Chain A
Amino acid sequence: MVRRAGTILSRRLPVFSSPLRGERTTSLLGVALAVTFPVCFVTGLLSHLIQHSPYWFDWPSRPVELYRITQGLHVATGTATVPVLLAKLWSVYPKLFAWPPVRGLAHLLSRLSVLVLVGAALTEVVTGGLNVARWYAPMPFFFTVAHHWLAWVAIGALLVHIGVQLPVVRRALARPVDDRAGAQRRGLLAAVAAAAGLVTLTTVGQTVRPLARLAVLAPRRPDLGPQHLPVNKSAVEAGVRRVDDTYRLRIDGPHPRRLSLADLAALPQHTAALPIACVEGWSATGHWTGVRIRDLLALVGAPPGCRLRVASAQRGGLYRASTLPAAACRDPLSLLALRLNGEVLDLDHGYPCRLIAPNLPGVMQTKWVNRLVVLP
């Protein structure tokens, strides 16, 4: 069945006139996509697991920069995939109009599987692009949930497609190359690679700081924002107002405490250079000063190995609270920060205090913290 589908698909169909098209061009572009799609899938799945940890998943707090790299890679790879995916579709475009459109059940199934693959692949890339540009109106669904589940469809359809087409790819890549067509094809592939390089160069500076000045087409600049740091959700958007002297941080644990801002400032202060690494692929390092999470845990007599629920004054929203993994709770770099880059935290950065911990997505670095709950 699989073999038949493969044979039927691999039969040469009428091709539009370009000599650049052909099994070899398509195969080489396919090999490139067989790298970029799994990279996006694995890094995306990792980000999902960190944010929605099942019981078997323990996310470490070191290396500090790991999430910054995996998520930066996720968005950069997705961006660089655009020209490769479009070139791949171009290379097989004439097959879309093959006649007769369906030659039996196997052919129908293989065409349907390609339709699912193309639909899922285009949708993943487009929704990712819309999300980083924060344009949600065209998506009649909640982005993160759909992007996650559709990624499984895309990677599954990709595996099926590779399984079906493997003999074609093998044949195309094993065949000796005819010189003139080969040079032209290399020119085309070099142009596609250059396009991938160009969109990377003009966007990746949103997370790779030395390239920040080249990032003329990036949705973020790591140095632009209050106190020279970008903001994902501002206080106005979160419906948060500046607290007054009546503010108390409530910590629930074996020995519950309520701390005023003066109490927090009187505790030992520590400074850590930690990045905000956003799921949207930008990141920026700040110098944060505040109280160590593990000091606060000791204050309420929290048991070793506990996790911590960190809740915000933010009204509603999916990200109004987060759970700090056990490793981050123990890590001396994890802070309840009161200051950023030497100044009192800007309201948009979470005044009076925010969580900042190593190796976590920005959405979990809860701002405007008013309650901590020890989870044994």
Chain B
Amino acid sequence: MTGQQRTDEPGRILRVVRIVLVGVGLVAAGYGAYGLVAESRPIGVAAFAAAAVLGHDLVLAPLALLVGAVAGRLTPPRLRSVVRTGLILTGTVLIVSLPLLLGFGRRATNPSALPLNYPLGLAVTVAAVWLGTGLVALLRRRHP
């Protein structure tokens, strides 16, 4: 009886934790949904979210898989993880800096906003990434 209780105790706690998480989560999400409907433009937000999901699932993710597959074919097996790291770093920097590269937020009326040469910044960053990747690949080749 006591043994039975002891083995059941963690399971019971886990269940309670899960029920609380789901319950609190539903309340918070419901509050947010209510706020969106009451104060924002829910259709605009939903359309944006849908575009974000479709953009990821149908464009970004397949593109990343394709680049990964092609790079995998072109790279010898022992360098694959190094090249993959270089690609992940490059892709991340590209995505994060994209709004700055496009520069639609730049205004002649406020030169202190977006004041830098972002294509140059990106080029320097990506060059540093591949320099590092090349160095690591070289070291791996010498000491596999």
Contact = CB atoms under 8 A, between A and B. Distances in A.
Interface of A: 2-3, 6, 16, 79, 82-83, 86-87, 89-90, 93, 96, 115-116, 118-120, 122-123, 126-127, 129-130, 132-142, 145-146, 148-164, 166-167, 170, 184, 187-188, 190-192, 194-196, 198-199, 202-203, 216-221, 224-226, 230-234, 236-237, 348
Contacts of B76: none
Nearest to B28: A156
B112 A160 contact: no
Given A195-B89, A198-B125, A221-B116, A133 B33 contact: no
Interface in B10-27: 14-15, 17-22, 24-27
A122 to B, nearest CB: 4
Given A191-B85, A224-B115, A2 B35 contact: no
A234 B124 CA distance: 31
Contacts of B106: 134
Contacts of A219: 100, 105, 113-114
Nearest to B21: A163
Is chain B's interface secondary structure helix, strand, loop, or mixed overall?
helix
A122 B99 contact: no
B71 interface: no
A233 to B, nearest CB: 7
A217 B100 contact: yes
Nearest to B108: A236
Contacts of B50: 119
Given A130-B99, A160-B25, A220-B113, A191 B30 contact: no
Given A134-B114, A153-B29, A187 B85 contact: yes
Given A166-B17, A234-B109, A122 B56 contact: yes
Contacts of A120: 49
In order of increasing CB-CB distance, the 3 nearest A-B pairs are A152-B32, A156-B29, A159-B25
Given A122-B52, A132-B99, A134-B107, 14 more contacts: A86-B60, A86-B92, A87-B88, A119-B49, A133-B114, A134-B113, A141-B40, A141-B45, A146-B40, A161-B25, A164-B22, A196-B92, A199-B96, A216-B122
Interface size range of chain B in the complex: 35 or more
B114 A233 contact: no
Contacts of A224: 112, 115
Interface string B28-70: 1111110110011100110111101100110011001100000
Interface in B79-119: 81, 84-85, 88-89, 91-93, 95-97, 99-100, 102, 104-107, 109-116, 118
Interface of B: 14-15, 17-22, 24-33, 35-36, 39-41, 44-45, 47-50, 52-53, 56-57, 60-61, 64-65, 81, 84-85, 88-89, 91-93, 95-97, 99-100, 102, 104-107, 109-116, 118, 120-122, 124-125, 129
Given A119-B53, A141-B41, A82 B36 contact: no
B110 A233 contact: yes
Contacts of A192: 88
Nearest to B102: A135
**Residue among B19, B48, B118 with max Cβ neighbours from chain A (10 Å):** B48
A79 B96 contact: yes
A164 B18 contact: yes
A129 B97 CA distance: 9
Contact of B14 (A115, A157, A170, A226): A170
Contact of A230 (B96, B113, B129): B113
A39 B88 CA distance: 24
A221 B124 contact: no
Contact of B31 (A6, A139, A156, A190): A156
A220 B48 contact: no
Nearest to A157: B29
A16 B64 CA distance: 14
A309 B20 CA distance: 42
Contacts of B21: 159-160, 162-163, 166
A153 B124 CA distance: 38
Given A149-B40, A187-B85, A217 B29 contact: no
B52 A123 contact: yes
A119 B49 CA distance: 5
B22 A191 contact: no
B92 A82 contact: yes
B32 A217 contact: no
B88 A217 contact: no
Contacts of A138: 48
Nearest to A201: B125
Contacts of A195: 88-89, 91-93
Nearest to A237: B109
Contacts of B47: 140
